[in-house]
Amino acid sequence: MKNLKYILAALATVAFFACKQDQYYLYNDIARLQFGPEPSRIYTTSYNLADTLKMYTFYYEDASIKQDTVFFDIYAIGGTKNTDRAFTLRQDQIANATNAISGTHFVPFNDPKVAKHYVIKAGTVHTRVPIIILRDPSLKTTTPKLKFSIVADGSFSLGEPSNIWRKLEFTDRLSQPSSWNAHFTQYYFGKYSVTKHAFLINTTGDKWDSIFIDEMYAGGNLIDYYRTVAKTALINYNAANPTAPLKDEFGDLIVFP
Amino acid sequence: MKNLIVPIIAFMALISSCAKDKGNYDYNPKEEVEVKGIATSYTVISEKENLVINPEVTSTDPSAQLEYLWGIYETNVQGYAPKLDTLAKTKNLNYAVKQAAKGWVLVYRVTNKKTGYAQHFKSDINVVTEFTRGWYVAKDDGSQADLDLFLTPTNIIPNGKRENIYSTINGAKAPGKVNMLSFLSSYKSNVTGVNGNTRTLFLVTDKDIAATYVNTLRKIKDFNSIFIGTPSVKSPSALFVSGTAYYLVNDGQVHSIYNMGSNFGQFSARIMKDANNTNYNLSKYFLPGIPGLVDPYLFDEITSSFVSMSQGSGPMAVVGDDATTTLPASNNNQKLLYMGTKSMGYPAAPGIVGTLGYAIFQDKTNPAIKNLAEISGYSGFKLKIIQTPLTVADKLYNATMHTLLFGDESMMYFVVGNEIWSRNLANKFEKLEFTLPAGEELTFMRHKKATETGYAYNYVMIGSKVGANYKVRMFSKSSGSLNATPDFTLEGTGIAREAIYISPAASESTHNPSF
């Protein structure tokens, strides 16, 4: 009987600690702030972590373009307020990576040029967060990373931990678009290389960035069209340069599967 | 007392579990409404016909007070919920149809006002237009093309005509001389608001392609929009279906749409011949394959070689030879004077699906040598070509135009001067079938047939030019030979180059697309 008492006490203790509060916050919680997908995707579960990382290149832009803006979506939890609510962002350093330098690669978050936009307007729960990136000459040879997160302040507490930060990688070189992924590599255009990327751009006049690749997927037989165009152009190039067939920056012959 | 606790609790539970039955049971038999006189489907012409239905309605409730409602909603809707439009609130329906030509569902609701009981009855409504049935003649004046439509409201014999209907509806003629009139039933477009199968008539000229939606005859694509990347040279010659792709030959180069995958009705890039992108120039003649099953065979005039491709994708396949062939499929040093399709199914070799065609070859080295060739095109890129030499004594030797009786007698029709001859392909017997009256010039000759109930036809069509006008004589035949007089003649202005019969029953496998 005595043992039974101990067992029941132990079970009650275990049961008590087995419960853990869900990290999701309710809409009527205190005012919190977190990033999220674009508004049309907020009810699509698979997009919960979309846009965590964005990539950008100045490569396609005219030389006169010295800066550009990348937007992220941010949402307030806990209902609306009848006054504007400013929020604060800070850069987080990433270990063992080329971190973007504030003022060199991007406009500092406390610069009034951008800080004035870091506001959830009265009566709303969403805004687009502008990150102004600068076309520093170093982007010709590097791809810095900018990780930033929300700072808890008088207006907002932090939202879900997985959505209080965002990352942006940018450069002034051709870089592998996010949509040139394993599927795109295996079934359509093969291994990525900057040389292949540039060849495709020169051949078709299109950007071959993620937007273009996503449009190809959605465009019926567009992807087959561009494969044929690429293959034909490569054959013609190699025929015109029999002693110097097109090779990538790794020295491998460029092929389209 | 302690022992009574359990019985007391049980008793209280028993008491509270009982509840008074307040059911509103009705022991009358279930009410039924019966409607007779509504067919499962109707076909009506939009903007022209009335939908007239006089149903007989009875109810099991002898004192029923019935009220009625007719409604209609569209089918194949994406992106929004179909809405029921009320047509009438009367027992009988007499409604002037104005809906777009497509599939609709008619709903008839009968409600017993006394009891509130309602029953619904449905019927499929196939809304068509006057353009969805009739003989279309593709014609030109040497530089601009148009369509004439001969209406067939009651049977295959025309009764009524809409001249220059293409330009009337689209505001302008199509540039160029007619090369082909082609029909596809599963061509993709968003003409109805969603990307889907679109019954499309293709007026292929030597300068343009006018793809028109059969329901409205409005142009939905032309040369500048039918390709993903528009070719620099406008010279289309053929558009047809074979296997699992649509093919478009332009400037001797072939483009395709894989029709089993997602597409928006735009042809892809030029298909390469091989891994070296060797030049090629395709003949206007081709041997189409069975839709869904067999890939087509085309002929490269540069190398005198047959080529094919799997599911519309390149590079082209090298065509092999059957062991018994008498002419190699590749590098055979021949000029192709004519090629057409005789039948589709199991040609020459039982058990192997394919296309049977005939061709006239002329030797490139010695042009005096001509051969009639029987070509069995099998799935798997292999041809059996059996040649029969032609001599100058053969009328066929000097023929200028040819056609085959597709799926019928084993005969080839051909033209010498203003005479139409036939040749029995088995015993080589040649016979004069018809002589054009003086002053007429032959412009085309085709055999077309279909078996639609009430609209069956089997005609050798002979088109001729008489001054600025055309005649298309529609000959029935007996044992492969033309009857003495045509069943009827289509007549209009311009030069007729092709005719085709379109009906709601026609699909892209109805017509033999080859010459």
Q: Lowest mean pLDDT: which of B28-32, B213-217, B469-473?
A: B28-32
Please name the residues between 265 and 324 in chain B that touch chain A, using a CB distance below 8 Å. 266, 268-272, 275-277, 313-314
B177 φ, ψ (degrees, to nearest 5): -95, 140
Question: Mean pLDDT throughout B331-354?
Answer: 85
Given this model, what pLDDT does residue B388 score?
A: 96
Selected residues 177-236 of chain A with any CB under 8 Å from a CB in chain B: 219-222, 224-225, 228-229, 231-232, 235-236
Q: How many CB atoms lie within 10 A of CB A76?
A: 22
Radius of gyration over every alpha carbon of chain B, rounded to an integer in angstroms = 31
Neighbours of A94 (CB within 10 A): 14
Average pLDDT over residues B392-412: 96
- Does A1 have pLDDT greater than 60? no
Residues contacting B115, CB < 8 A, separation 6+: B31, B61, B64
Compare CB distances from B228 to A222, A235, A239 and report the shortest one's residue: A222
- Name the band, by pLDDT with cuts 50, 70 and 90, for residue B290: confident
Q: Which residue of A has its CA nearest to B271?
A: A228
Instruction: Give me the mean pLDDT over the A85-104 stretch.
Output: 96
Q: Can you list the positions of beta strands (E) in B113-175?
A: 118-128, 134-140, 144-150, 161-162, 174-175
Distance between CA atoms of residues B201 and B463, nearest Å: 20
Among chain A residues, CA nearest to B264: A220
Q: State how far residue B277 is from chain A, nearest Cα, in angstroms.
A: 7
Chain B residues closer than 8 Å to A228 by CB: 268-272, 314
User: DSSP character for A188?
Assistant: I
Query: Any bridge partners for residue B165, and if so which?
Result: none
B26 vs B315: which has the higher pLDDT = B315
Chain segment B449-458, per-residue pLDDT in tens: 999 889 999 9
To the nearest whole Å, the CA of A215 is away from the closest chain B CA by 13
Closest residue in A to B279 (Cα) is A236
Confidence label for B197 from pLDDT (cuts 50, 70 and 90): confident
Nearest to A224 among B268, B276, B277 (CB): B268
Report the residue of chain A nearest B314, measured CA to CA.
A228
Contact present, B269 and B228 (Cβ < 8 Å): yes
**Given an 8 Å threshold on Cβ–Cβ distance, is A224 in contact with B313?**
yes
Residues of B in contact with A235 (CB under 8 A): 272, 275-277
Of the residues A200, A216, A225, A227, the best mutation for testing chain B's interface (the one with the most B CB atoms within 10 Å of its CB) is: A225
Q: Pick the closest to residue B460 from B401, B404, B400, B418 (CA basis).
A: B404
How far is residue B369's CA from residue B377's CA, in Å, rounded to a whole number? 24
Scan for tokens 């013609």, then name that residue.
Answer: A236
Please write the tens of the pLDDT for every residue from A9-34: 666 665 555 555 555 555 567 899 99
Residues of chain B neighbouring A219 (CB-CB closer than 8 A): 264
Asked whether residue B291 carries a pLDDT value surpassing 50, the answer given is: yes
Calpha distance A115→A110 (Å, rounded): 5
* E strand spans, A53-164: 53-57, 67-77, 85-86, 88-92, 119-120, 126-134, 145-151, 157-158
B125-173 residue pLDDT tens: 988 888 999 999 999 999 999 999 999 989 999 999 999 999 999 999 9
Where do we find the tokens 């092999």? B320
Hey, what CATH topology would domain B2-128 get? Immunoglobulin-like (2.60.40)
The answer to whether the Cβ–Cβ distance between A220 and B277 falls below 8 Å is no
Distances from the Cα of B212 to the Cα of B131, B151, B203, B255, B498, angstroms = 11, 18, 8, 19, 16
Task: Characterise B267 by phi-psi region: left (phi > 0), alpha (psi -120 to 50), beta (else).
Answer: beta
Which two structure tokens, joined as six digits, stand for A108?
């500092």
Other C-beta atoms closer than 10 Å to the C-beta of A64 total 6
Give tens-digit pLDDT for A198-210: 999 999 999 999 8
Query: How many other C-beta atoms are found inside a 10 Å radius of the C-beta of residue B432?
Result: 13
How far, in Å, CA of B55 to CA of B40, rounded?
Answer: 13
The CA distance from B447 to B449, in Å, is: 7
- pLDDT of residue B348 exceeding 80, the answer is no
Query: Angle at Cα B210 formed by Cα B204 and Cα B215, nearest 5°?
Result: 120
What share of chain A in percent tops pLDDT 90?
68
Average pLDDT over residues B47-52: 88
Taking CB atoms and an 8 Å cutoff, what residues of chain A touch B257? 221
Q: CA B212 to CA B219: how far, in whole Å?
A: 4
What's the pTM?
Answer: 0.76
How far is it, in rounded angstroms, from Cα B243 to Cα B253?
Answer: 19
Span B425-446, pLDDT tens digits: 999 999 999 999 999 999 999 9
pLDDT value of residue B51 = 95
The pLDDT score that the predictor gives to residue B331 is: 97
Q: Indicate the length of chain A as a whole number.
A: 257
Q: What is the DSSP letter of A254?
A: P
B266 to chain A: closest CA residue: A221
What are the φ/ψ torsions at residue A207 (nearest 5 degrees)? -75, -30
How far apart, in whole angstroms, are the C-alpha atoms of residue A110 and residue A151?
12
Q: Any CB–CB contact under 8 A between A239 and chain B?
A: yes
Domains of chain A: 32-171 (2.60.40.1740), 182-240 (no CATH)
Q: Percent of chain A at pLDDT above 70? A: 89
Residues A111-160 have pLDDT tens digits of 999 999 999 999 999 999 999 999 999 999 999 999 999 999 989 999 99
pLDDT at B78: 46
pLDDT, averaged across chain B: 91
- Cβ of B121: how many Cβ atoms within 10 Å? 15
The alpha carbon of residue A228 is apart from the nearest alpha carbon of chain B, in Å, by 6
Q: Which residues pair with B498 in a beta bridge?
A: B138
Closest by Cβ to A221, choosing from B261, B272, B275? B261
3-class state of residue B88 by DSSP = strand
What span, in angstroms and rounded, lies between the C-alpha atoms of B131 and B213? 9
Closest CA to B309 of B248, B396, B262, B361: B248
Q: Which residues in chain B have their CB less than 8 angstroms from residue A231's CB?
A: 272
- B257–A221: do the CB atoms touch at under 8 Å? yes
Mean per-residue pLDDT, B346-373: 88
User: Where do the structural domains in chain B lie, given as residue ranges?
Assistant: 2-128
Structure tokens at A79: 């209902």
CB contact under 8 A, B270 and A228: yes
Contact list, A236 vs chain B (CB under 8 Å): 277
How do beta strands B320-321 and B382-390 pair?
parallel
- pLDDT at B20 (0 to 100): 66
- Asked if B268 and A220 come within 8 Å (Cβ–Cβ), the reply is no
Q: State the Cα angle at A86 between A85 and A92, rounded to 5°.
A: 140
Torsion of CA B55, B58, B64, B68, to 10 degrees: -20
Record: contact A220-B188, CB cut-off 8 A = yes
Q: Where are the beta strands (DSSP E) in B144-270?
A: 144-150, 161-162, 174-175, 178-189, 196-205, 209-213, 218-221, 236-242, 245-250, 253-258
Cβ separation B277–A222 shorter than 8 A = no
**Subunit contact A235:B276, Cβ cutoff 8 A:** yes
Cis peptide before B315 (omega within 30 of 0): yes
User: How far is the CA of B297 from the CAs of B289, B294, B311, B379, B387, in angstroms?
Assistant: 7, 9, 12, 10, 17
The 10s digit of each residue's pLDDT in A53-88 is 888 899 888 999 999 999 999 999 988 889 999 999
**Which among A169, A168, A156 has a CA at the least distance from the CA of A75?**
A156
Size of interface A-B (CB pairs under 8 A): 45
Q: Which of A219, A221, A231 sits opposite B258 (nearest CB)?
A: A221
Cβ-count burial B59-83 (b if 16+ within 10 Å, e if not): bebeebebebbbbbbbeeeeeeeee
Which residues are CB-contacts of B56 (< 8 A; sequence separation ≥ 6)? B35, B36, B37
Q: Do A221 and B314 touch (CB under 8 A)?
A: no
Dihedral sign from CA coordinates of A100, A102, A103, A109: positive
* Interface residue of A204, A212, A224 to substitute, partner B, most B CBs within 10 Å: A224
Measured over the CA atoms of residue A42, residue A46, residue A51 and residue A53, the dihedral's sign is positive
In this prediction, residues B254-269 reach a mean pLDDT of: 93
Q: Which residues in chain A are contacts of B229 at CB distance < 8 A?
A: 225, 229
Distance from C-alpha of B399 to C-alpha of B323, rounded to nearest angstrom: 30
